[in-house]
Structure 1
Amino acid sequence: MKLSLAVTGLLVLLVSASCHAITLKLDPEIDLLVLDGRKISGSLLKGADSLELERGQHQFLFRVEKPCADATHFQSVPMIVTFNASANSVAIRLPSLGNRRERTIFDKALNFQLIDEHGNEIVSIRDHLPQGSDGDLEKAMINYNRNAQAASVARFAMQSASLPAAQMDLDFAWQDASDLPSLQRWFQRFDAATRQRFISWMKTLRTS
């Protein structure tokens, strides 16, 4: 019970801190791979239709995956987009990908749009992830940002490596507690930095 009350209090603080955040809306066809230099865990995004981000500069690595009318499955090349967030919400608007020609153009031209809550386009810089970088995507993005590429952000090259999957599972195990049924939905809405602060607080509570 004490843990539940403490976590609820921490969530109130997180919600208050996120009042000035922006919402990244997640299209189900978009696979978000790396956010601000850190690999995104699929388990954290599962079932979420948005994430909360701090205002300021952000960088996504993503790709599009969708079934096609000709019974094939389209997977785009990994795409990078860098932008400064000042709107209330941000979404990636995809072009028509109904036929092979449109999908080929999309892979080459990166003709998607970043839009705000009013449908206005947000200025962004776009690029492809260099070929041969499909292994460790987080490491690939660190190298990309170190090499001063078109959409690189130097400070994201300084990010430390993500926690191993087993450690992440341990850190998030409290989400499945029977007395905290709604925390996972809230937790998914926060940006990576806020999640890390919350995890640190939880560790402090468990050891106190």
Structure 2
Amino acid sequence: MKLRLVLSGLIALLVAASCHATTLKLAPEIDLLVLDGRKISGSLLKGAEGLELERGEHQFLFRVETTTSHHHLYLSVPLIATFNAQAKSVTIHLPELQTRSERKSFDASPDFKLIDEQGNEIASKRDRLITSHNDDLEKAMIAYNRNGQVASVPRFAQPQATTSINQSTPADLALSDTAAERLLNLWFHQVDSATRQRLVLWMKALRAS
């Protein structure tokens, strides 16, 4: 019962902010790694079909993870996209990656596109992140943005005050570990502080009733 009320409140807040948000749609083969300078926790994204982004400039780092027609696991190099969120939704469109030649070409020169809800390409700056397997991707992106690369965003060249979206959730918002609750937790750490405070106060009032 409480979960239904929580989700109802979340939906109400999302509807109120929907006219100022862009949905970044996440296909199953997209592994989002860093968003706007903050590391993303894969467990929080499990079961989520997209993320709500405020209008304006955004930068994300992702990796393609898919199984080929020959049942081989393919992991792309980390890829960077910088764009201005104005459309209602943004989808990452990938080329064919079934043959070894296609995958090798994609790793050398990634030709993915960002597409809006009407199928139009969104202007973006794209690049790949040259890094070793054990590198801290959040720190690697800070270094990338400091070096004035193709898809750099100077304001993400400094460590964020909160460096990971996989941070603790306030006790008043603590829920069990299901896809719905993980999505709520992820959304909570994406919105502005005023919206966070309203949600926490709403949860306090709910539990006191």
Please give the TM-score of this superposition, normalised by the length of structure 1.
Answer: 0.80
Check whether the contact 1:57–1:83 (CA below 8 A) recurs between aligned residues.
yes
Check whether the contact 1:10–1:198 (CA below 8 A) recurs between aligned residues.
no
Check whether the contact 2:25–2:90 (CA below 8 A) recurs between aligned residues.
yes
- Give the 3 Å change call, closer, same or farther, for CA 106–163 of structure 1 in structure 2: closer
Check whether the contact 1:175–1:183 (CA below 8 A) recurs between aligned residues.
no
Task: Name the residue aligned to 2:85.
Answer: 85
- Give the 3 Å change call, closer, same or farther, for CA 38–83 of structure 1 in structure 2: same
Task: Name the residue aligned to 2:67.
Answer: 67
Q: Give the secondary structure class of the aligned counterpart of 1:105.
A: helix
Deviations 1:29-85 (A, max 9, x none): 010000111111112211011111111111110010111222321000000010111
Check whether the contact 1:52–1:189 (CA below 8 A) recurs between aligned residues.
no
Higher mean C-alpha deviation, range 51-60 or range 186-195 = 186-195
Task: Name the residue aligned to 1:162.
Answer: 163
Q: Is 1:19 paired with 2:19?
A: yes
Check whether the contact 1:114–1:123 (CA below 8 A) recurs between aligned residues.
yes
Q: Give the secondary structure class of the aligned counterpart of 1:107.
A: helix
Find 1:184's aligned residue among 181, 184, 189: 181
Distance in 2 (alpha carbons) for counterparts of 1:7 and 1:28: 23
Q: Is 1:138 paired with 2:135?
A: no
Check whether the contact 2:29–2:64 (CA below 8 A) recurs between aligned residues.
yes
Please give the TM-score of this superposition, normalised by the length of structure 2.
Answer: 0.80
**Residue type at the aligned position of 1:175:** L
Residue identity over aligned pairs, in percent, reads 52
Unaligned runs of 5+ in 2: none
Task: Name the residue aligned to 2:53.
Answer: 53
**Residue type at the aligned position of 1:108:** A
Distance in 1 (alpha carbons) for counterparts of 2:189 and 2:110: 26
Check whether the contact 2:37–2:156 (CA below 8 A) recurs between aligned residues.
yes
- Give the 3 Å change call, closer, same or farther, for CA 15–59 of structure 1 in structure 2: same
- Give the 3 Å change call, closer, same or farther, for CA 17–169 of structure 1 in structure 2: closer
- Give the 3 Å change call, closer, same or farther, for CA 76–183 of structure 1 in structure 2: closer
> What root-mean-square deviation, in Å, do the aligned CA atoms of Structure 1 and Structure 2 show?
3.4
